[in-house]
């Protein structure tokens, strides 16, 4: 029974480890195969965030081109907007996963908080310019704006928490290292003391043996 339990725990751990990769395989509908490969290569928490940002910027640029194209582009504004929303949702899932597993993503979060508001302004410009309304449902634009605003709020909170957490973890690790060094020094002192006592005892025994002869 114990062996079966350990086997189940191992399988569960492997499943959790590869869950983000398994999810990628299901996202072929809004990511190209090249983009999926880029995500697979970007296993660093911060680098993955930056890759998602580049995908979102690509969709925004193509949406702008679609609005100004007068129909002479193959890109569909509504499809690109839905892809943007899907990528944003996947970005939020990644941030939540790394936050729950103490993945240091502070560099990526700072990049998100730098680039995200610019993307949000573009989305709001789409909403107010009127050009996008003819190409998509206005509720989709509202969803995209709300989703990015939510992503930025979550990133702000996650960055504040990680800025506090990781220095504390580093300080704790240093304190533990100092404690270990002190323990080793104390043990070395005890070992030296024991060696001196043993040497003294051997000398005494050798001296007693000489006296007997």
Helices 45-67/106-129 angle, 10° precision = 10
Residue-range definition of the domain harbouring residue 155: 19-175
Residue 197 has pLDDT above 50, yes or no: yes
Q: HSE, CB side, 13 Å, CA atoms: give it for residue 193.
A: 6
Please indicate, yes or no, if residue 182 is contained in any of the structural domains: no
Please indicate, yes or no, if residue 202 is contained in any of the structural domains: no
Residue 161 has pLDDT above 90, yes or no: yes
Please indicate, yes or no, if residue 11 is contained in any of the structural domains: no
Domain count for the chain, please give it: 1
Query: What mean pLDDT is predicted for residues 62-81?
Result: 81
DSSP secondary structure letter of residue 135: T
Residue located via tokens 């993945």: 103
User: Are 46 and 104 in contact, with CB atoms under 8 Å apart?
Assistant: yes
Predicted TM-score (pTM) of this structure: 0.67
pLDDT in tens, 94-120: 999 999 999 999 999 999 999 999 999
pLDDT in tens, 38-47: 999 999 999 9
Please indicate, yes or no, if residue 8 is contained in any of the structural domains: no
Residue 207 has pLDDT above 50, yes or no: yes
The predicted pLDDT at position 184 comes to: 75
């Amino acid at each position: 029974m114990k062996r079966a339990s350990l086997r189940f725990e191992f399988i569960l751990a492997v499943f959790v480890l590869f869950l983000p990769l398994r999810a990628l395989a299901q996202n072929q509908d809004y990511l190209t195969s090249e983009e999926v490969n880029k995500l697979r290569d970007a296993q660093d928490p911060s680098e993955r965030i930056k890759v998602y940002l580049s995908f979102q910027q690509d969709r925004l640029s193509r949406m702008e081109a679609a609005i100004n194209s007068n129909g002479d582009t193959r890109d569909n504004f509504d499809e690109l907007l839905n892809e943007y929303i899907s990528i944003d949702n996947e970005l939020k899932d990644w941030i939540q996963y790394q936050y729950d597993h103490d993945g240091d993503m502070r560099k990526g979060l700072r990049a998100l908080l730098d680039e995200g508001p610019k993307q949000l302004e573009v989305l709001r410009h789409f909403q107010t310019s009127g050009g996008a309304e003819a190409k998509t449902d206005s509720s989709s634009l509202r969803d995209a704006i709300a989703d990015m605003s939510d992503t930025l709020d979550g990133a702000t909170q996650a960055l504040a928490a990680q800025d506090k957490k990781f220095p504390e973890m580093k300080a704790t690790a240093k304190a533990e290292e100092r404690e270990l060094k002190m323990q080793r020094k104390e043990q070395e002192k005890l070992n030296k003391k024991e060696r001196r006592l043993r040497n003294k005892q051997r000398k005494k025994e050798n001296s007693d043996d000489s006296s007997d002869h």
